[in-house]
C-alpha cells in the first residue's frame, strides 16, 4: 500500500530519538553481516529505509544493493552513499531489470507487514529471479497483527536497556 511508503517518506516519529534511530540501524547492519559468509557476497537490502550503517555491511561484502520504494528516502541514500563504490541504490521497480541469479543474500527486515498479499507475492517472485541457486532470503521483524502498543513499548524499553 502506498500509504506506508508515503509514511516512511515523511518526517515520521517512529524512532524515540536520534540515538534510538542510529542504534536501530547499527544493530541491523551487525545482524546482516552475521549472514554474510564470504567477502564475495552480493547483498540486496529490500526496502532498506535510511540504512544509516550500510557502509559497515558494504565493508563486509562485495556489493550491497539498497532498494527502497520511498523516493525521498532513496534520494538521501543516493546522496549519503555516492562516494561508496560498493553501494548501489535502486527503486523496487529497478530490481525487475537486474540480472537474474546475481544475488547471494536478500534481506527484508520489517517490511512484510506493510505489504498486501499481492505485493508480497510479486516481491517474492522478483527476489526468486534475482537469487543465485545457492542464495538465501532472510525475513526479519515481521509483526503479528495482534501485537499492540504495550508489547511495542516493552520492546522499546528492552532495546533501551541493552
Report DSSP state, residue 99.
P
Rule CB under 6 A: choose which of 43, 106, 111, 130 binds ligand SAM. 111
- Residue 105 engages ligand SAM in binding (rule: CB under 6 A): no
Among 70, 105, 106, 126, binds ligand SAM (CB under 6 A): 70
User: Closest residue to ligand SAM, Cβ-based?
Assistant: 49
Residues in the chain, how many? 162
Using rule CB under 6 A, residue 126 touches ligand SAM: no
How does 111-139 read in b/e, with b if 16+ C-beta sit within 10 Å? bbebbeeeeeeebbebbeebbeeebebee
Taking CB under 6 A as the criterion, the residue among 43, 49, 53, 89 binding ligand SAM is 49
The verdict on 109 binding ligand SAM (CB under 6 A) reads yes
**8 Å CB contact between 91 and 69:** yes
Amino acid at each position: 500500500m502506498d500509504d506506508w511508503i508515503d509514511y516512511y517518506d515523511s518526517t515520521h516519529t517512529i524512532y524515540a530519538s536520534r540515538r534510538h534511530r542510529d542504534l536501530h540501524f547499527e544493530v541491523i547492519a551487525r545482524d546482516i553481516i552475521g549472514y554474510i559468509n564470504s567477502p564475495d557476497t552480493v547483498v540486496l537490502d529490500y526496502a532498506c529505509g535510511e540504512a544509516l550503517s550500510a557502509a559497515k555491511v558494504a565493508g563486509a561484502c562485495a556489493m550491497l544493493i539498497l532498494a527502497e520504494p520511498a523516493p525521498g528516502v532513496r534520494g538521501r541514500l543516493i546522496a549519503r552513499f555516492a562516494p561508496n563504490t560498493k553501494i548501489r541504490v535502486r527503486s523496487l521497480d529497478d530490481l525487475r531489470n537486474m540480472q537474474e541469479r546475481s544475488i547471494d543474500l536478500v534481506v527484508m527486515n520489517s517490511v512484510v507487514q506493510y505489504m498486501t498479499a499481492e505485493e508480497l507475492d510479486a516481491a517474492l517472485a522478483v527476489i526468486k529471479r534475482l537469487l543465485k541457486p545457492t542464495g538465501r532470503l532472510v525475513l526479519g521483524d515481521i509483526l503479528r497483527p495482534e501485537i499492540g502498543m504495550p508489547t511495542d513499548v516493552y520492546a522499546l524499553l528492552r532495546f533501551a536497556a541493552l
